[in-house]
Amino acid sequence: MSRSWVIGGAGLLGQRLPGLSIDLQEPCDYQADACDSTMLARIIEQEGYPELIFIATSTRGGDAEAYRHCYLDLLNSLPDAKLVFCSSSSLCADGSESPRAAIMREAEQIVLSRGGCVARLAPLYSEHRCALVSRFLAGQAPLHGDDARWIHYSHVDDAAAALILLADAPSAIYSVVAESWRKGEILQLLSDWSALPIPQGEARVSCRIVSNCELNSDALRTLGWNPQRSIKELISR
């Protein structure tokens, strides 16, 4: 992977991937908007054409226009290379969807049409960053939906390992889900560990899709993915 790029390389996931990092955030090799064709031409002139591009960008809650720029405009600007695109496991939801979700699906199809791989990532956590645990300890309603809702997680290191596997995988959509829980089950584990009551109410629904799908990562595990971490480690520390 000596000739790989990581678009969004300064993020929690991107910084764990091998390759030249391009991001608007520090630290990275090139602090730039990867949709800027002039900047991309300059990087290619200095570094050469990439053979592989990891796309780990995020709008950080932006609107549909931000999604269009961050994903569709980006994909249309990138040079020819194998693409590994970070999408979201929330796209498993049925029924009507938001404009942002529709843009993500369109981006997925562009990647597949170019022979790339789509990684539908479950929510990520690390030892120092887990929204579920932080909100619970703060007494905030941690999740939307009833106690039977399926929720999924992956440690960021396991997710990075999955993306590296996809660099050589057949073009397809892959679920990157290390473990799955019912909402009531994981909240009870948090309560037992912390001796705190389960917060009442539900978290405010954002304009993101609220999914409730039982997922598996069988296709990815067939390639050799074997997650090493569990969210239970955070709960039992």
Q: Please write the tens of the pLDDT for every residue from 108-142.
A: 999 999 999 999 999 999 988 888 888 888 888 77
The reply to whether 202 falls in a domain is: no
In the chain, what percentage of residues exceed pLDDT 70? 91
pLDDT value of residue 207: 45
The reply to whether 188 falls in a domain is: no
Say if residues 31 and 73 touch (Cβ distance below 8 Å). no
Q: Can you give the CATH number for the domain in which 12 is found?
A: 3.40.50.720
44: part of which helix (H) or strand (E)?
A: helix 37-47
The reply to whether 103 falls in a domain is: yes
**Apex 83 CA angle, 82 and 84, nearest 5:** 130
The reply to whether 46 falls in a domain is: yes
pLDDT value of residue 94: 55
Where is average pLDDT lowest: 38-42, 112-116, 229-233? 229-233
Supply 42's token pair. 């300059």
The reply to whether 102 falls in a domain is: yes
pLDDT value of residue 236: 66
| Number of domains, the chain | 1
* pLDDT tens readout for residues 153-169: 999 999 999 999 999 99
Query: 18 pLDDT exceeds 90?
Result: yes
The reply to whether 148 falls in a domain is: no
102: part of which helix (H) or strand (E)?
A: helix 99-113
The reply to whether 35 falls in a domain is: yes
What's the domain range around 158? 4-126+153-179+215-229
The reply to whether 107 falls in a domain is: yes
